[in-house]
């Protein structure tokens, strides 16, 4: 097992706290096989220019790895303006010790990213595999598609320990999302497949969905009227009201299922 520690330098976060850093080049599969000096030379975007990783982060490497799956990256410091953590990663593990900026875990194909804090919007965007764990809250558009795209999350698993913003799982076609808190408006918008479980409350879930499954264990604060009641169903020994929709997308196409406790 190899552990790579990347600690954001204090002079970067104190004097230039508002300038974002993009670290999609620092995933376990991309740095596998590199030594400490080679990792320091990897280019990352800082604002509108490229910098060496070693100019922005203190870098240390412990242990050895035979494969990318055995590489763990630990990111420390004020990460609130660090974007694209784990973007596109295929293997290994990343642990971010604090709040992170946009696009964390975007387009992941494998591996695991753990955020020990909150994640800004577009976390898990267009995710295809792997696992994303956000121990705090998630911003808007969790596991959704980006502007102009037509497919959101298609595989993998995402767990949010707190609340999530609006449009969770928009255009989702597969995978699994668990929100342990509440979600804002329009969870599962345009959903085509996959599964979303909300342990708290939701507002207008399932709008324009034609497939997939949403389970709300709390309250639906504003129910979309174009869902049809389909009796009740027991899930893990608990009785839920079952709805089919969204019938606004025509009854023939509407095969989404919404369970409400």
Q: In what order do the strands lie in the sheet with 43-46?
A: 49-52, 43-46, 21-22, 82-83
Range in 12-16, 136-140, 173-177 with the lowest mean pLDDT: 12-16
Is the pLDDT score of 250 beyond 80? no
pLDDT at 141 over 90: yes
Q: Where is average pLDDT lowest: 5-19, 66-80, 142-156?
A: 5-19
- The confidence score (pLDDT) of residue 85 equals 98
Would the pLDDT of 251 be above 80?
A: no
pLDDT of residue 136: 98
- Is residue 17 scored above 80 in pLDDT? no
The predicted structure's pLDDT at residue 11: 78
Residue carrying structure tokens 């994303």: 132
| pLDDT band per the 50, 70, 90 thresholds, residue 12 | confident
pLDDT at residue 13 above 80? no
Average pLDDT (67-91) is: 97
pLDDT at 14 over 80: no
pLDDT tens per residue across span 200-225: 999 999 999 999 999 999 999 999 99
Q: In this predicted model, what pLDDT tens digit does every residue of 93-120 receive, in sequence order?
A: 999 999 999 999 999 999 999 999 999 9
pLDDT in tens, 147-195: 889 999 999 999 999 999 999 999 999 999 999 999 999 999 999 999 9
Q: Are 170 and 187 in contact (CB under 8 A)?
A: no
Q: Is 231 helix (H, G, I), strand (E, B) or coil?
A: strand
Separation between Cα atoms, residue 124 and residue 145, nearest integer Å: 9
Would the pLDDT of 19 be above 80?
Answer: yes
> Which pTM value belongs to this model?
0.95
* Helix (H), strand (E) at residue 235: strand 228-235
Question: Model confidence at 18, in pLDDT bands (50, 70, 90)?
Answer: confident
The pLDDT-based confidence of 15 (bands split at 50, 70, 90) is: low
């Amino acid at each position: 097992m190899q552990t790579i520690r990347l600690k954001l330098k204090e002079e970067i976060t104190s004097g230039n706290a508002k300038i974002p850093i993009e670290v999609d080049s620092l995933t376990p599969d991309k740095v596998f096989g590199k030594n400490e000096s080679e990792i320091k030379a990897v280019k990352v975007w800082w604002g509108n220019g490229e910098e060496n990783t070693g100019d922005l982060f203190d870098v240390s490497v412990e242990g050895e790895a035979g494969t990318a799956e055995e590489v763990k990256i630990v990111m420390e410091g004020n990460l609130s303006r660090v974007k694209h953590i784990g973007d596109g990663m295929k293997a290994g593990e990343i642990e971010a010790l604090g709040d992170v900026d946009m696009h964390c875990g975007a387009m992941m194909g494998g591996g695991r990213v753990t955020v020990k804090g909150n994640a800004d919007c577009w976390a898990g965007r267009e995710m295809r595999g792997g696992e994303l764990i956000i121990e705090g809250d998630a911003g808007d558009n969790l596991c959704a598609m980006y502007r102009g795209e037509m497919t959101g999350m298609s595989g993998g698993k995402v767990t949010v320990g707190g609340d999530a913003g609006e449009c969770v799982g928009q255009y989702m076609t597969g995978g699994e999302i668990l929100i342990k808190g509440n979600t804002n408006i329009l969870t599962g918008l345009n959903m085509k497949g996959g599964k979303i479980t909300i342990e708290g409350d939701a507002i207008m879930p399932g709008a324009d969905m034609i497939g997939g499954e949403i389970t709300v264990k709390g309250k639906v604060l504003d129910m979309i009227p174009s869902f049809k009641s389909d009796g009740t169903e027991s899930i893990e020994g608990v009785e839920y009201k079952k709805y089919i929709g969204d019938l606004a997308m025509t009854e023939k196409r509407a095969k989404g299922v919404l369970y409400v406790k």
